[in-house]
Structure 1
Amino acid sequence: MDTDTLAGVARALLLVPPADFVAERTARQRALRKDDRETAAAVGKLRKPAPAAWVVDLLADDQALDEAVALGPSLREAQERADPQEISTLRRQRASLVAALAQAGADRASDAGHPATPAVLDQVRATIEAAMADPHAGAAVRSGLLVQPLESVGFEPVDLDGALAVPDAVPDAWSGSDAPPIPITAGRRGASRSRRSGPADPPDHDPAAERRAARDVERQARQTSRDVDAALDEVETALEDVAERRGDLDRRRRDLERQLRGLEGEQTDLDAEAERLGRERDDAEQASDRAREDLVAARRRRQALD
């Protein structure tokens, strides 16, 4: 299977409003099935994007996210230098850029006939911020293959598990490399000092363990959500197939009914023709009888004259 071909189909599909995704996916899968069954099967497994991911993919299609992703390295460098003024300037720039992009995404969604809710736009903003925070997330967001919104937490790498429709098409989004995340929160050193100057944690309090446990719960919830979405996609696909098969049967039934009506009309015409010919036959038989009678009478007259 050609990954680039699959990615191209996926990018086109992900620009379709989520409500129309399953029907369009089914149509494209069937169009491919004749010539490339392997790719067609892979297309059938593509997941429907979450609404926020769809909006981000619309922005990626417009190449509107490049500036936001490019701002990431500047944010990281400012954080590493611990320059409060530069950090403050970049944070304002980030906020302005994220707000403008969220509005642009809202406009694109409205133009497509599916306005984004405030909650969806919050996820769009969080996803754009994640693209600034982590270079791998930036690659994922710019790819146009996003199916799940992203979220960044401080210095933590962004979780990209299951976020892309075709992960192999975006190697720069693989988060298994050692590339560090780009922090977008200011004052890490100050926060560290505050933690040091504050009261000590109780001996049995392990913040790192709690964060790991919270991430595990979040990862499990995300996987459950993906499984449910996948099951929903399968049911919707099955319903589409049933609807199409029922439509085919309805068309065949209507064709047969038209044929039956045509045959009934032909039968009526033939019955009328048979009745007409029957009358003609009766008239011909009567004429034949009269002719024979006239012939017999003529012969008798001739014999009498002889």
Structure 2
Amino acid sequence: MGFADEARALLLVAPADFVAERTARQRAVRTEDRDLATAIGGLRKPAPAAWVVDLLAADGALDDAVDLGPALRKAQADADPDVIRTLRRQRTEVVDALARAGADLAADAGHPVTPAVLAQVRATIEAAMADPHAGAAVRSGLLVAPLESVGFDAVDLDGVLADPDAVPDAWSGSDAPPIPIASARGARKGSRASRQSRSGQRDRPEPDGPEVDEPQPQPEPERDLAAERKAARRAETAARTDSRDADAALDAASEELDAAEDHRAELRHELERAEAEVERLGQARDDAEAASDRAREVLAAAQEHRRTLGR
């Protein structure tokens, strides 16, 4: 098995068991392929939402959802509100069904997930529909972090795959733009509200008497949601880096423990050999002393016999 296949198998392990399984697999391949063992040791533990998406990918459940993406992109390009409305409803139904299926798979694996995790699962599936590169990423079964579609920007795929080289379509391929349906819907609502406001102002009768300037409410400063999300992603990336460093330290400590146990086994074996040698030498000493005693007895008997003959 290559690293991508090893990673796909490990990423399906429940998060609570991931580190132990990864360490066991790393040890199993170390004697045959040290480079592969090193790569396995560096595999990041997936975020819970990414784990659920990988379970869905392994189950073949994401194909229909991702295949809905081109139709959504075409409807967006054609600006057909009826088609967009129909496809948006289909998208919601598909995403909800997949989220429920993912929750069932996680529960069957003994690791039920929270509503917050399922919200990230939904966002990841929607991003896969919106961006063909994200679609390739989620279908790969190599996802280690959830995805998010932000406005009209392409989905950020930096650091979300265990083996980016194994999923070239996540970085190249179709040049179709992402589908910011939610943003476009919000823009259309804002545009309609603006038109209604202007229409109401035109229909309103002019007041009698001199006009008085009414104080205009100060607009609230706009929040830069994209910047906030990017900051959140940076914080999440930093947390994942810390987790990866902790995992690497754990692996190093585990290797040191293995070496210490091997050394202790060698020392124990040497001690057993030394104890056996001491026992053998002790027995030889006892045998030599017994032989010496017998020799003295024989000598004494011979001397006594000679004295008897001399008389």
Once the 2 structures are TM-superposed, how far is the Cα of residue 157 of structure 1 from its aligned partner? 1.9
Counterparts in 2 of 1:193-272, with a 5 A limit? 193-194=191-192, 196-197=194-195, 210-211=224-225, 213-272=227-286
1:145 paired with 2:142, answer yes
- Percent of aligned pairs with the same residue? 54
Are the counterparts in 1 of residues 149 and 155 from structure 2 also a CA contact under 8 Å? yes
Question: 1:187 matched to which residue of 2?
Answer: 185
Matched, 1:14 2:20: no
Equivalent position to 2:303, from 273, 285, 289: 289
Q: How does 1:51-130 map to 2 (within 5 A)?
A: 51-82=48-79, 86-130=83-127
> TM-score w.r.t. structure 1 length?
0.77
**2:293 & 2:15 partners in 1: Cα distance?**
70
Shifted more, 27-36 versus 64-73: the winner is 27-36
**110 and 257 in structure 1: CA distance in 2 versus 1, 3 angstrom threshold:** farther
Match of 1:49 in 2: 46
Distance 1:216 1:154 in 2: 12
Gap change, CA 1:287 and 1:174, over 3 Å in 2: same
In 2, are the aligned partners of 1:23 and 1:240 still within 8 Å (CA)? Answer: no
SS in 1 for 2:307: helix
Is the CA contact (8 Å cut-off) linking 1:130 and 1:152 kept in structure 2?
yes
Contact 1:57 1:141 in 2 (8 A): yes
8 Å Cα contact 2:73-2:177 kept in structure 1: no
How far apart, in 2, do the equivalents of 1:12 and 1:238 lie? 22
Q: Show the counterpart of 2:291.
A: 277
TM-score by length of 2: 0.76
Q: Provide the aligned C-alpha RMSD in A.
A: 3.5
**Alpha-carbon distance in 2 for matches of 1:85, 1:212:** 29
Distance in 1, matches of 2:296 and 2:98, equals 92
Rounded to whole Å, the distance in 1 between the matches of 2:291 and 2:89 is: 98
Amino acid at match of 2:101: A
CA contact (8 A) 1:76 1:183 kept: no
**230-239 or 268-277: which moved more?**
268-277
Q: Which runs of 5+ in 1 are unaligned?
A: 298-306
C-alpha distance 261-195 of structure 1, shift in aligned 2 (>3 A):
farther
Give the direction of change, closer, same or farther, for the CA distance of 1:289–1:250 in structure 2 (3 Å limit).
same
Give how far 1:138 is off.
Answer: 0.8
CA–CA separation in structure 2 for the residues paired with 1:205 and 1:178: 35
Q: Relative contact order (alpha carbons < 8 A, sep ≥ 6): 1 or 2 greater?
A: 1
